[in-house]
Structures are given as C-alpha cells and as structure tokens.
Structure 1
Amino acid sequence: MITIDCQSHVFPAPYAELLTRNRGWVRVEKTSGSYRIQYGALQSFLLDLDSYDPQKKIRDMDSTGIDISILSINIPGPEALDQDIAFEAAQLCNDAVHEICSRHKERFQGLAVLPLQLSPAEYLAEYRRAIHSLHLRGVVLYSHIAGKPVDHPDLEPLYTQAEQDGVPLVIHPTVPAWGEVVKDYSMIPMFGLMVDHSIAMLRLILGGVLERHPNLLIVHPHCGGVIPYLMPRIEEQTEVKKRGRDHIRKPPGEYYRKVYLDLVSPSPLPMEYVLRFHPENRLLFGSDHPWVSIQLFKEMVDRLPVKGDTKSRILGENAKALFRIDAG
C-alpha cells in the first residue's frame, strides 16, 4: 500500500533571503540565523529553515511509513510580493523544488508557485516552464492574490490552461486580506486561515469558475475548512432563497463533490465527518509537515473506521492518480 503525503512544505534558503528585498505588505527581517516574516500589522511568523531540511523530512517520512511527499513552498508565496521581484521569486522557488525532487526522485514530487499578480502572459510563461519543463505536478493556488479573489477574471487563463493540461490546482491558505478582524489572540493561524481558504473555495464555485471549467482539478485542504459543515446552509441559500446563483446552474454541493479534500486536521472528528460527507475517491492523506508531526496524522488516518480498499485510496491511490505519479 503506497502512502503519499499531499501537503508537505519546504522553504529554500535563497527564497528566504530574497524575501528581505520585499517592501510591500510582507516584510522579512533577518536575525541571527533565522527570519521573521511580518504581514503588515496582522501576523508574524518565525521561519526556522532547519525544520524544512529535505533530509530531515525524509527521516520523518521513513519513521512513519510515508513513501512520497508532494512538496510546496510555504507562505508567503510569490503572489504576495512586490511586482518587481515576483517573477524572480517564482522561478527561484520552482527551481529549488525541482532540484530537491531531482535529488530524491523516489521520495518527492513538487508543486509550482506562480506570480499571479502579474499579467497572464507572464504567469503563464512560468506555468509552462514549471509544468512542462521542470515537470512539477500541480500549482499552488493561495487563497487570495495580494487581496485579489481567486475568481477574478485575471486568473481565467490559468484555469483554462490547467483544465486543458489536467494539472491540479492546490488551494493553500494565507494571511487573510480581511485579517484586521482576527489579528488578536492568534486567531489568524487558529481560525482565519481556515476561513480564508474556505472563502476561496466558495468563490470558485459561486463565481462560476467550476461551471466554466467542469474538468478543472482542485484540491481543497484541511478537511475542506468550514465548507463541509456549512454546505447545507449554503445550498439552502442558493436553492431555496435563490441567492448567489448568478454564475452557477447546479447546487454548490454538486460542484464541490468533484473537488479533492486533504485530511489535514489535528483531530479525527473532522476526518470522520468528511468520510461521511465526501466521495472516498476524492480524499487525500496530508500532514502539513513540518508544521505538524507526520506521525500524528498517520496514526489518526490508520485508526479511521474504513475498509482496506478505502484506506489505500485515501493514503495514496487517489493522489497517485490525481498527480499522475508513476510509483508503487
């Protein structure tokens, strides 16, 4: 039984250094051996590069029976940076992920990041390089693009190209553009991130992106955020009160059932709910390493009340097909 971790992060040291040149919303201060990432007055994170070391990641994978990890750049992504360094940042990140994957071909696959705040011609040029030349397996879609929502017309060329190529777009939360209301009491990491990526997912549905692109492959992380629990209310609004239906022709849940969910959650209860709520062929194992212990998530998934075939699909077979991984 192959096990694939669909949410695992890296942070290349040259990218951390490049971030110190940013002068916009995201500011990075380099101190003795570490970096502090500041999102305006909303949130700061201390970046520990040692925790992202690929060799450490492999050791953690080996200790828990993870065969392959799909690597992505942690926040902030290039889409949050000043326009004059965004393209350089995206290329640096994609080259770094490709290099790690090339050194450990049996253990890692990678996702691309794109300078989506630039013109479609510019970000699609990097898309083609990352996907067709570097052979990365998908694209990270952060929950907003420097405040621009994910259903903005500027992103339509990305959705057209990704649908045509069968390339998955993997939603990832970032510090909310509306973070002022949740900046206190550490509510951004504990709550705001989950709500923000749920808003992004709902905008892809209600904004008509999935109506216009029915074969677009989307991964929604963290057990779907709040969407699975609020879907009855969402559909009561759209189907009974006829609100928010300008760009859709089906109930929102019909679009959502085609979306992949990863099971990253610190509790088995959301995992068990999602198992009842969502098709089993659309569920993926993930850990959010190195933020959280891989072992914690692997043990919770191993204890889920599912049959062997279902477990094998969740642990790896679904991801193997989605990301077109030739392994196992």
Structure 2
Amino acid sequence: MTEPTPRRTAASAPVPTVDVHAHVLLPEVDALVTGLPGHAEARALDARRNGPAALAVSGPMVRDRIPRLTDPAVRLAAMDAQGVDVQLVSPSPSHYHYWADEDTAEKVYRTANEATAAHCSAAPDRLRGLGLVPLQHPGQSVRALDHALAQGLLGVEISSHAPARELSDPAYAPFWARAEETGALLFLHPFGCTLDERLDRWYLSNTVGQPAENAVALSHLIFSGVLDRHPGLKLIAAHGGGYLPTHIGRSDHAWATRSDAGTDCAHPPSSYLKRLYFDSLVHDPHVLRELIRVAGADRVLLGSDFPFDMGTADPVGALRGARLTEADLDAVRGRNAVVLLHLASA
C-alpha cells in the first residue's frame, strides 16, 4: 500500500532568518536637535563617558557604515550577504535624546517613528521597524507608543533608564499597561552607563557598560514586580540580557534569603527569564548555550547589532558556533521571531 504524501504545513516550511537587533541612523533627528539647549551638554557627557580614545575610533567607524545605516538598498545587499531574510530595525540609540524638554521630545519621537517607518517601507517584506518613546517624560510614553504603532511599527526601543528614573518607576505603569494591551514589542537597548568616567578607557563604556546596564534594568523590572503586574509584556533584551542571565543564581539567593530583596516580586527571579526575550549577541558560544539553558530556546532570538563594530558580521555563523541542536538553532535563527513578529511566513 502506498503511503499518502504528507501535507506541507507552516511548521515544515522553510523558516526565514530574522535579525532582531539592527539599527538605522536618522539624519532627520540629528537635524532636529542640533544646536538646541541641552544638546551640547548631552554630547559632552557622552564624550566624558567614552573617553577620547573611543571617540577617535568610533567616529570613523560610524562614518564608514553610514550607507548601511541609511540606504535601504545597501542594507538589503548586506543582509543578503549575511544570509538574513528579515531585520527588525530600531533607531540608533544615539537618537534617544533623553535630555530634551517635552516639546522637543515629542518632535523627536514623531520624527524618529515616521523616518524609521519610511526606511522600512522600502522593503516591507524584509524590514520591520521599532520607534522611540521619551522615557524622560513618562506622561508622553503612551502617546509615543501609539504613534509608533500608527506608523505600522511593531513597537518601540527603550534604554535602561532615563535621567533620575529607573524602569521600576511607578510613573511608567500606564506605558507597560498599554504595551501589554496592544501586544507591542519593547526592545531594551542601553545607551550610556551611569558608571560614567570609571569606564572612559579601553571602550569599557560599551564592553562593560552595556551588559551592566542590561542587568540593572532587567533587575528593576523583575524585583519591582513590573513583570508580575504585566505578564503579557513582549520585551526583548539586547546583548543577551547582559550579565543577569549568567548570574541569575545570585538574584535567586537574595530573593530567598533577604526580606528586602523578596518583597515585591512573587517568584524567584530566574523564573522571569522565561517571560522575557533575549537576542543572541553575547560573543561567546558557551554564554549563548547558558542563556538558552536558563531562558529556554523559545526565548532567544538572532541578533547582530547591524552594522556596528560591536556586533557580528556573521550572526548565523556565530549561532552555529554554539553547536545547538537543530531544533534550537532553527528556533533562535528565525522560528521564534516569525511568531513574535507575526511574519506572514509563519
């Protein structure tokens, strides 16, 4: 008896490779803020945090990448070379401008949202976008998120903190509620580190500062109970969540041992890792395997930090270097993102 031919299903169809950590540079935003009160001071702070040696390297590095950051055709060619089918494109974190007053902040987020949407519209089947919200003005956050979604963007990118505000601040409660209600994606990507000039040499501002900021921000969301109150949040942490996933046992110990640590979140901190999403950009196959162990293969997404030098030019190769099972590799390479981003091929 001849066996019937199996019906081709979505689960058996080829899964696209999806990079959820890719940036766009928006000259429109730079033109908007240049010369405004507070802009020069913010640039001076950034310079102090990074140090002169880092600035001397970063300037030429960014200039060399401007075509990939601004021209959709150049971006798509680079994606083809990498074997990437879809990018989730977020503004360069240099566009946060959390120093801005309310009027300027509204202009920034509207300009950034509209410009990102326009960039992605050049190839809507391959480029999906995220906008910005002004975390320094919590009262604008819901309007900014709604504006991003109205442009066809999938959500917004946020930093690890705003001046004098942590992500645990109760003022953000309406923002978390609206993000949960709409199913918007939140991409947590730090910019700047509050350790400031302690990290102003050897590019420690990025190599140490970014993973430290990720760990602090995620800890605020966990220990404050934000994730208990908003279990449906769809939050992706850049850089594999920084130092937190590989040191989550210390957080669990504090939660179980100290009354002050365990007051505001209902469950051990490690359990919340399975409610979050993480990109794969950790630069070490052993760390990636550990991230998958503690968070689950269904919670890790391919990320490259395109096209900056602290990213990877071969994200799929880096993923394969972790020697995952085929099922886990397939999930991280694209299957998880297909579901999360509601891609048509799902």
Shift of 1:140: 0.8
Match of 1:41 among 48, 69, 91: 48
| 2:322 is the counterpart of 1:304 | yes
Residue 335 of structure 2 aligns with which residue?
317
Q: TM-score, normalised by structure 1?
A: 0.90
Residue 219 of structure 1 aligns with which residue?
236
| 2:23 is the counterpart of 1:15 | no
The 1:268–1:19 alpha-carbon spacing in structure 2 relative to 1, beyond 3 Å, is farther
Residues 226-262 of structure 1 show CA distances to partners (whole Å, capped at 9, x for unaligned) of: 0112111111111123341221111111122211111
| 2:18 is the counterpart of 1:4 | yes
Residue 206 of structure 1 aligns with which residue?
223
The 1:155–1:28 alpha-carbon spacing in structure 2 relative to 1, beyond 3 Å, is closer
Q: TM-score, normalised by structure 2?
A: 0.86
The 1:98–1:199 alpha-carbon spacing in structure 2 relative to 1, beyond 3 Å, is same
The 1:181–1:268 alpha-carbon spacing in structure 2 relative to 1, beyond 3 Å, is same
Match of 1:100 among 119, 131, 135: 119
Within 5 A, what are the aligned runs for 1:90-169?
90-120=109-139, 122-131=140-149, 133-169=150-186
Instruction: Name the amino acid aligned to 2:94.
Output: P
Residue 34 of structure 1 aligns with which residue?
none
Conservation of the 8 A alpha-carbon contact between 1:79 and 1:114: no
The alignment of Structure 1 onto Structure 2 pairs a total of residues equal to: 319
Residue ranges of structure 2 left out of the alignment (5+ in a row):
1-14
Within 5 A, what are the aligned runs for 1:251-266?
251-266=268-283
Within 5 A, what are the aligned runs for 1:179-258?
179-258=196-275
Shift of 1:104: 0.9
Instruction: State the distance in 2 between where 1:39 and 1:285 align.
Output: 29
Instruction: Name the amino acid aligned to 2:131.
Output: A
Instruction: State the distance in 2 between where 1:231 and 1:26 align.
Output: 39
The 1:186–1:22 alpha-carbon spacing in structure 2 relative to 1, beyond 3 Å, is farther
Large movers: runs of 4+ above 3 Å: 25-29, 292-295
Q: Please, which moves more after superposition, 191-200 or 175-184?
A: 175-184
Residue 276 of structure 1 aligns with which residue?
293
Instruction: Name the amino acid aligned to 1:67.
Output: D
Larger radius of gyration: 2
Residue ranges of structure 1 left out of the alignment (5+ in a row):
30-36
Residues 239-291 of structure 1 show CA distances to partners (whole Å, capped at 9, x for unaligned) of: 12334122111111112221111101223232122122221111100100011
Instruction: State the distance in 2 between where 1:284 and 1:319 align.
Output: 6
Shift of 1:52: 0.8
CA RMSD of superposed structures (Å):
2.1
Shift of 1:71: 0.4
Instruction: Provide the identity percentage.
Output: 23
Instruction: State the distance in 2 between where 1:23 and 1:64 align.
Output: 41
Instruction: Name the amino acid aligned to 2:18.
Output: I
Residues 16-60 of structure 1 show CA distances to partners (whole Å, capped at 9, x for unaligned) of: 22232343266588xxxxxxx862622355342334132222111
Shift of 1:135: 1.6
Instruction: Name the amino acid aligned to 2:48.
Output: A
Conservation of the 8 A alpha-carbon contact between 2:273 and 2:294: no
